[in-house]
Amino acid sequence: MKHYRFFILLPATALLLIILLQNTSFAQQAAAIHYTKKEIMVPTRDGTRLFTRIYTPDGITTPLPILLMRSPYIDWNIGVLSPDKDSYVKNLAAEGYIFVYQNIRGKQKSEGEFIMEGAFNKTDPRVIDEASDTYDLIDWLLKNTNNNGKVGQLGISYPGELALISAIKPHPALKAVSPQGTVGDFFLGDDFFHNGAFRLSFAFEYSYGEEAIKGDTSFPFPMYDLYDFYLNLGSLANVNKKYFHRQIPTWNDFLVHPNYDKYWRDKAPVNYSDTPHVPILHVGGYWDQENMNGPEALYAKMEKYDKRNYNYLVLGPWSHGQWSDSAANSISDYKMERNTADDFREIQKAWFDYWLKGVGDGKFPEATCFQTGSNVWKTYATWPDKSVKPERLYLEEHKKLSFRKPTPDDNGFDSYVSDPANPIVYRVRPIEVTYSDSSDWDRWLSEDQRFVDHRPDVLTYKSDTLDADLTITGDVVAHLFASITGSDADWVVKLIDVYPDLYKKKPDMSQSELMIAEDIFRGRFRQGFTTPQPIPSGKVEEYKIGLHEVNHVFKKGHRIMVQIQSSWFPVFDRNPQKFVPNIFLATEKDFIKSTQEIYRSKQYATYIELPVVNEPGRLSVK
């Protein structure tokens, strides 16, 4: 049993008071500590030298713990800012740590060859990889800094994955890690694919940005709005013909590994993670546009093997890395009603202070999860909460949703024509360069969905107005029964919170459609991701689509919405809708229109499985 094996609710006012008191102490100390930076090339066991920044607090002679971040990037959480000025760690810096930032092999000023997201070998001690490089760095730091012999590692996204890897083959001095916004599986739910559907714009821009030159760069697009660029690209085979010319290694790998083979299995952190060897704090965001699945999947996998109470989780109302901002009070139009970034910093500080300094009692909640809708932090003895009851929300005629089970009299379907020549845009245009200063990439999962609910190729279903709050906590799963006239299809399912017609609390959110859970599934993989199969034309098939974990309250007066569509472009590539063995090699003639039929009958009852919290007075389920 873990510490804090019970359920508590932290009211916003009480938590805010705690944080204000803590921040008062922090503010008093922040002005007293300044940091001196040293830049050095640290050698590894094979002689390769890695560029490293070391920040040491002035005037402190007491040995201090080390906080380490490793990254391929030059400007995001890699020591450009002094830690006392970096919102991500400034409260930790205020009380004294040694901060170390290192660029990995082949990136920025570090020597060696960069292999993006290389497969990790946890069994062969002779292999030189990110774990061995971290081990060598820690060894060097223990001998060359005034430290207390304890090291922690943290990071967001790729740096978070590097923290995870270090914990799998840890140096004895590594005492705690926090992988944040980390990939779980590149093919099934993060970064490059979701359930086999290829993330075109992200993969195109990210692979070029990291592999075209040693530093970070951006593809020289000839236009601002990239929707037309990716549409005019045509087949994915044209990328190398027109632009990359086989010079981007990761893109070349996409072409020869279109299915879930050994290449993808070996790369997936969720596959090589098992027993936590050091205390580990996973951190993720409900609206993380890059790695939403990873923290949830990694926590769940490692929890199965956790015998020493080392495995913990924090989930918040954030986009990718938003918790590191100076303020996180809102995302798109949604208001959190507090600075959740400050909240997170206190959670993170308590974690590292205990494991590296011995401060506090170490009684951490198993899971600390913000509840959207109610805007409160809640803690859980188990995650997902085992007290929930799965309830089925069914599609009905007249585009309605209901908890009523279909009867023999219910018999029908709704249909639309999916046209690859006119794919549904995934966010409001323009589609800017993903990592440009003007891009809305970080907010698209929380964007109001009214911009597509009028399209004839988007099916929209709504519940009646809720007469009581409805709380869902845990995994949301769509069970879709559908037939097509083509031989392949993508299915996008979205669970949406629809605000009242007149929302007095924030009038400009009236009737807004806030996505709560969503994902895409490539139909060819309905029988498994290793071997794609064509979909028989005209045959009703079932598709089970995980929409990930949530913690949300649909408030009284709101409505629940479900949207179903067959494209999400250009963040995901266009499915040709004619089965071809390798979509990356599809030709222009393979792209065809297809009529999609979504069933809502007793025999084929499409429904969303909701993890409903059985609270007194909530909406009755009939």
- Other beta carbons within 10 Å of 335: 14
pLDDT at 31: 52
The alpha carbon torsion through 40, 43, 48, 52 (nearest 10 deg) reads: -30
| Mean pLDDT across 446-470 | 97
For residue 430, whether the previous peptide bond is cis, meaning omega lies within 30 degrees of 0, is yes
Length of the chain in terms of residues written? 622
H/E segment holding residue 480: strand 470-484
Please determine, for residue 12, whether its predicted confidence score (pLDDT) is greater than 50. no
The pLDDT-based confidence of 567 (bands split at 50, 70, 90) is very high
H/E segment holding residue 611: strand 607-612
Please determine, for residue 611, whether its predicted confidence score (pLDDT) is greater than 80. yes
- Other beta carbons within 10 Å of 234: 16
| Mean pLDDT across 131-136 | 96
CATH number (1.10.3020.10, 1.10.540.10, 3.40.50.300, 3.40.50.10470) of 193-264 reads 1.10.3020.10
- Other beta carbons within 10 Å of 361: 9
What are the tens digits of pLDDT across the range 308-362?
Answer: 999 999 999 999 999 999 999 999 999 999 999 999 999 999 999 999 999 999 9
| Mean pLDDT across 91-115 | 95
Q: Which two tokens stand for residue 382?
A: 């188990």
CATH number (3.40.50.300, 3.40.50.1820, 3.40.640.10, 3.30.470.20) of 8-180+273-380 reads 3.40.50.1820
| CATH superfamily entry for domain 389-612 | Galactose-binding domain-like (2.60.120.260)
pLDDT at 76: 61
Please determine, for residue 209, whether its predicted confidence score (pLDDT) is greater than 80. yes
pLDDT at 117: 87
Residues paired with 462 in a beta bridge: 400, 561
The pLDDT-based confidence of 123 (bands split at 50, 70, 90) is confident
pLDDT at 74: 82
Phi-psi sector, 545: left (phi>0), alpha (psi -120 to 50), beta:
beta
The alpha carbon torsion through 392, 395, 399, 400 (nearest 10 deg) reads: -30
Please determine, for residue 291, whether its predicted confidence score (pLDDT) is greater than 70. yes
List Cα–Cα distances, 497 to 380, 409, 477, 535, 603, in angstroms: 24, 29, 16, 32, 28
**Domain extents in the chain:** 8-180+273-380, 193-264, 389-612
Q: What percent of the chain has pLDDT over 70?
A: 93
What are the tens digits of pLDDT across the range 537-557?
Answer: 999 999 999 999 999 999 999
**Which residue, 208, 5, 270, 45, is CA-closest to 135?**
45
What are the tens digits of pLDDT across the range 32-89?
Answer: 699 999 999 999 999 999 999 999 999 999 999 999 999 999 876 578 899 999 999 9
pLDDT at 20: 39
Please determine, for residue 29, whether its predicted confidence score (pLDDT) is greater than 60. no
Give the Cα separation of 68 and 153 in Å (integer): 5
Give the Cα separation of 549 and 295 in Å (integer): 10
The pLDDT-based confidence of 118 (bands split at 50, 70, 90) is confident
| Mean pLDDT across 566-576 | 98
pLDDT at 17: 39
pLDDT at 507: 94
pLDDT at 26: 41
**Which residue, 3, 94, 9, 114, is CA-closest to 51?**
114
pLDDT at 32: 64
Q: Specify the residue for token string 């009603």.
A: 337
pLDDT at 214: 87
Average pLDDT, the chain: 92
pTM: 0.93
Q: Which residues, at least 6 apart from 490, have a Cβ–Cβ distance to it below 8 Å?
A: 197, 520, 521, 522, 523, 566, 567, 568, 572, 575
pLDDT at 332: 96
